[in-house]
Amino acid sequence: MKAKIIVGVVVVAVGIVLGAVNFIESNVEYMDFAAAQRANKKAQVKGTWVKDQATSFDPEKVQFSFFMKDDADRTVKVVLQGAKPNNFEIAESVVAKGRFSGEEFHATEVLTKCPSKYEGDAEAVKKSL
């Protein structure tokens, strides 16, 4: 009987520890590139794709790289482990989740915010009223 209780307590304790570690890893702060480089931890950086600089995909390494400018106007090369995100070319803004390795930001995920096809022209609506 005591062995079952001890095993139960150990299983619950391990579950709590794993849940806490998972929560800490998933709780990623928004920062600019400078703060992310100083923090040396996983961060989310919001910015825009710099279209006039090199963009490439390496099929052997399955790496997509591009240059991104953050809200503080700092441009950094972002290396994504994976393919180019959907709608990347038409994205208004980009969010890269990852961490710095040297002078490059190595992303595990890149999210794109695209213009909504459902948004109308507010001025045209006002004039029609």
Domain segments of the chain as ranges: 30-113
User: pTM for the complete prediction?
Assistant: 0.69
13-17, 19-23, 45-49, 98-102: lowest mean pLDDT where? 19-23
- Determine contact, residues 16/57, Cβ cutoff 8 Å: no
Q: pLDDT band at 24, cuts 50/70/90?
A: low
Q: Which one is predicted more confidently, 91 or 94?
A: 94
**pLDDT of res. 127:** 58
Q: Cβ-count burial of 95 within 10 angstroms (0-12 exposed, 13-18 middle, 19+ buried)?
A: middle
48-62, 95-109, 112-126: lowest mean pLDDT where? 112-126
Give the closest residue to 76 by CA, choosing from 42, 43, 102, 113: 102
Evaluate if residue 28 carries a pLDDT over 60.
Answer: yes
Residue range 41-55: mean pLDDT, rounded:
90
Distance CA 95, CA 112 (A): 6
Q: Name the class of domain 30-113.
A: mainly beta
